[in-house]
Structure 1
Amino acid sequence: MREILSGTTIIALLSVLLAFLVGSLMILATDDRVRETAGYLTARPNDFLWAVRTCLTDAYGALFRGAIWNTQADTFERQVRPLTESLKYAAPLILAGLGVGLTFRAGLFNIGGRGQMLFGGAAAGWVALSVDAPGIVLVPLAVLAGAVAGGLWGGLAGLLKARTGAHEVIVTIMLNYIAYYLVFYAVNTQGLLQAPGSTQAKSAVMPQEARLPRIFGESFPAHAGIVMAVLAVVVVWWLLNKSSYGFRFRMVGENPAAARAAGVNVGRTYVAVMVIGGALVGLAGVNQALGTVPDGISPGLDAGIGFDAITVALLGRSRPLGILAAGLLFGALKAGGFLMATAASIPVDIVLVIQALIVLFIAAPPLVRAIFRLPTKEARA
């Protein structure tokens, strides 16, 4: 038990718990009834406690109905639809989280997810709009184009790191801006990605045969992207734990000098891991372009997922299974946050605050250990 309590998994779980506890306090602070009853708390404490209970029950009940199961729906299709909505939002988060987490394991801090997603989504969209082929050919071709584009954009940062020693944080930040304005130019230029005859910064709607198929039928929003994400989890797990490449990635991440002394080409490893990581993030862009928002390519295609992927990777401790669980959690928060805002009159920004608090607590393990009085590794030894 001491070994479990001093591990990193319990820190991640308790960080989520603390984030929800602090988020609950913020929800209570925004509720009119709670503030009103707090004014005469000492005179009638039951009113205050009832208002607190009602506020939190309504808020998290709406979150559950919007993310997992709609208990108020009258048909099974409407009851289960929120779960498929969460899977739709989780798919790109898992893929992008895998790409970021893989680079973390190699000792690189890849925050270029936005640019890699934009390049991957734009490449997939260009193929979908330009190639005249049946869906069975067009979809794999567009997916491959998105992965290659994201991999090349990520590999560029790895190459600069390997050849010049340029810090990957600075390089990936700059590449995010370059990718954004390149896509912005493409969707504003006739003959590239802009819809024919349009003056808006947007491409044409993705053709139906190029869209990722709905895995549970057209009535449910979950598409083949979640299958792609699960397969990517399996592949990355095998790569990290069963292959020689994964061993080299982890060796370089632990100690580049020792890896170099053991004969590992550190520079080549940096390029390889950034190419693979960028390809995974590019697949997240493909999910957005052909699955989640197939109404056209725009500079806002990434929807903040490129940065949310850092949170998913941190919460998942850069482990494939942990990233899968973290992606599902954040997908559920995103899907349920909309109903929480409308049904319980809770600001949707509260969900973003909870996500930020998760990162805060994960980044401060000593704080979490102190709050819950957990043993440290030194105490275990």
Structure 2
Amino acid sequence: MTAMPKWADAVLVPLISLLIAFVISGLVIFAIGEDPIAAMKLMVSGALGSTYGWGYTLYYATNFIFTGLAVSIAFQAGLFNIGGEGQASIGGLGVALCCLYIPWPHWSLALMGAVVAAAVFGAAWAAIPAYLQAKRGSHIVITTIMFNFIASAVLVYVLVNVLRPTGSMDSSSARFDEVMHLPSLHDVLALVGIPFNNRNPANISLVIALVACVGVWILMWRTRLGYQLRAFGKSEKASVYAGINPVRITMYAMLLSGGLAGMMAVNTVMGEGQRLILNSVEGAGFIGIAVALMGRSHPVGVLLAAILFGFLYQGGAELALWTKIPRELIVVIQALVILFTGALDDMVRRPVERVFVMLQKGKT
């Protein structure tokens, strides 16, 4: 069977999967007595109809860019990193320690320090399951998902017993010094004369996420290491025959993946929360898996998929706020998108392939 064009695999198949997910979601909304068309209009207007909505959409998208890139790098190397949640949590711990115990004179220096701390802490947390996979043969899926629970327990202990201010009943760290508050997206866009609502958590971390997209693209498709990672992911035996060290590549892939996941904490801990709290990741590590799948593990695809899921998060919040549609149904809609763009992707791809084969035969 003739393979369909790359553009169809990268664009057409995900769009059809997305359309099917939205149609089924509409039927579910209709079944509970709500108007699906009105619900979709409310989602679009709430998430994209104002700079306030765009701010929240881009804030969520920033988280998903980091975790999506983290998962995509591991995917490219043939590894399934489900530990983004834990790696982002530990990355948040690195951000908190960096901001609480180092007297930074300016937010820009604090930001650079926080990015490094988040990446180092996230990479260090990913290094343990990577070593177990590379040296002991422990399955990366099992170890990474178990390390999510360990990271959660570590964070609870540190927040309650180490970082919690004296006399506070809240399981969170002290607030960071005001000099470390990051510029909001409103502040950034004001420099070029673009008006933007300042009552949302979007901040300069979005710029770092976009730079990370470019960096991952350069790494994966313009460097020797990127070629080795992709070759290892395509065929471990062939890559070993070509002289690629599987232990080293596994460690490199997971260190990069964990570092990117950890960097998500800059947005949530330093940018939005301005302190470390429990559950600051809010499931973004798992959403990153869906983002990487839908984005075909390519930085451009990850960026677009992250914006889509940011839209679903913000639009879903608007639905839960202004309609009788329960919040749980929003999770169902997100799950349907993940189901059709991930698990049932082949169900859509095969008919599309057959259509292109028929068109090819018609031309000949």
Structure-1-length-normalised TM-score: 0.85
**What one-letter code is carried by the residue in structure 1 that aligns with 2:326?**
P
CA deviations on 1:105-155 (whole Å, 9 max, x unpaired) are: 100000001110010011101211122222232221122111110011112
Runs of 4+ that moved beyond 4 A: 376-381
- State the alpha-carbon separation in 2 of the partners of residues 291 and 63 from structure 1: 25
Of 41, 47, 53, 1:61 maps to: 41
The sequence identity of aligned pairs, in percent, is: 34
- State the alpha-carbon separation in 1 of the partners of residues 344 and 149 from structure 2: 30
The aligned runs of 1:166-245 (5 Å cut-off) are 166-189=138-161, 192-217=162-187, 218-245=198-225
Residue of structure 2 in register with 1:367 after alignment: 347
Residue 4 of structure 1, CA deviation: 5.9
**What one-letter code is carried by the residue in structure 2 that aligns with 1:215?**
L
Residue of structure 2 in register with 1:50 after alignment: none
The aligned runs of 1:35-184 (5 Å cut-off) are 55-69=35-49, 79-134=50-105, 135-184=107-156
Distance 1:66 1:207, change over 3 A: farther
Contact 2:13 2:352 (C-alpha < 8 Å) held by counterparts: no
CA deviations on 1:252-274 (whole Å, 9 max, x unpaired) are: 00001100000001110000010
**1:322 maps to 2:294:** no
Residue 378 of structure 1, CA deviation: 7.6
- Which SS does the other structure have where 2:186 is aligned? coil
CA deviations on 1:174-207 (whole Å, 9 max, x unpaired) are: 2111111111100111xx2112322332212233
- State the alpha-carbon separation in 1 of the partners of residues 115 and 42 from structure 2: 35
Between 214-223 and 313-322, the greater mean CA deviation after superposition: 214-223
Residue 208 of structure 1, CA deviation: 2.5
Larger Rg: 1
Residue 58 of structure 1, CA deviation: 2.0
Count of residue correspondences? 346
Of 249, 257, 275, 2:229 maps to: 249
Gaps spanning 5+ residues in structure 1: where? 33-54, 70-78
Cα root mean square deviation, aligned? 2.1
**1:357 maps to 2:357:** no
Gaps spanning 5+ residues in structure 2: where? 188-197
- State the alpha-carbon separation in 2 of the partners of residues 348 and 199 from structure 1: 29
CA deviations on 1:259-316 (whole Å, 9 max, x unpaired) are: 000000111000001001111000112211112333x323312101111111111111
- State the alpha-carbon separation in 1 of the partners of residues 334 and 143 from structure 2: 26
CA deviations on 1:315-369 (whole Å, 9 max, x unpaired) are: 1111110000000010111111111122232223233212211222232234224
